[in-house]
Amino acid sequence: MLATITWVADRGIELGPLFIRYYQVFFFLGFFLGYQWMKKVFIKEGVDLKILDALLSTMVVATVLGARFGHVFFYDWGYYREHVAEIFMPWKGGLASHGAAIAIVIAMLWFGRKYLKPIGKTPLWMLDRVVITVALAGAFIRLGNFTNSEIYGQPQNSAVETVFVRPITDYIERYFERDVAAVDYAATGNYLETDSLRLPEYELRFTPTETASLDQVQSMVELYLEPLVNRQNADNRHLYLPQDQLVQEKDGYFVLTAYGIPRAPSQLYEALAYALIYVLLLWLFALGAAAREGQIFGAFLVLVFGFRFVVEFVKANQKDFEA
């Protein structure tokens, strides 16, 4: 078994007053690189680039609205029918790729009638090309999901097992900034054996603020942190804290023992799969498969949904991102 990956990296970078998430960067990269490839195709096939600009706008709107409405109506309508205004706040809730896929197909049908029919092209002609960029974007988006500690797999031990501790760090930094200046996880090399998992041991280190005391941090752990991490459901649990621990002072830190919940990094599995699908579709396109309209689109559907069926067996359920 290789060493456990402990994912504690920040979710993004601060640029002056702005906070740019890595997820946003990867999302933009996917669309940007896809646009550049489509631009080359349009130029080579003699299609007006104004149509490509309209396509980009259509794809962005369809992706965002479809993903949002897919989550709202497929997974959480019970909540949103009581909070209708939040339907239009995608930053407060989830997204569903199933909804995005449906919206993109519908958008392509509309786009075909408005922009493609006048130039003698069909929606299938466009879909054969669009799905190649969708596969590429999917790979980048899953990398973004990994950096954002979301869409992860079920608890399991493996050669690439990953402990996503960023959500725990965010909770501590958000609610206990008065007592804790920083949080660190130092792997000890030891493990806790359970009936189903081998949990890596960490020395959980709190860098105290100037006004924090050992008693204050002890209270934080007993009253808030330990109940939070130990009572979360299995799909959202990342850490286990043994009960009734006494926080110790060591080398300027306040420390205690914690055990990580190792998970399958399913985001990386999907990113790799979508990258391979992108390469395969690109190869088919280069061989002239697009001459038979719908062939590349059909291959995309078979490959993506075939892989999705398999990967669902290792993914944890996350209502906010049914992707």
Give 35-50 pLDDT, tens digit per residue.
999 999 999 999 999 9
Contact 260, 238 (CB under 8 A): yes
Q: What's phi and psi for 258, nearest 5 deg?
A: -140, 155
Give dist(CA 57, CA 161) in Å, integer. Answer: 39
The pTM of the full predicted model, rounded to 2 decimals, is 0.86
Task: DSSP for 62-106, please give it.
Answer: HHHHHHHHHHHHHH-HHHHTT-GGGGG-TTSS-EEHHHHHHHHHH
**Model confidence at 321, in pLDDT bands (50, 70, 90)?**
very low
What are the pLDDT digits (tens) for 79-133? 888 888 888 876 666 677 778 888 888 988 899 889 999 999 999 999 999 999 9
Q: Retrieve residue 109's tokens.
A: 């049908």
Q: What pLDDT was estimated at residue 72?
A: 85
Q: Hey, where are the domains in the chain?
A: 13-153+265-322, 162-260
Give dist(CA 63, CA 283) in Å, integer. Answer: 25
Contact 247, 236 (CB under 8 A): no
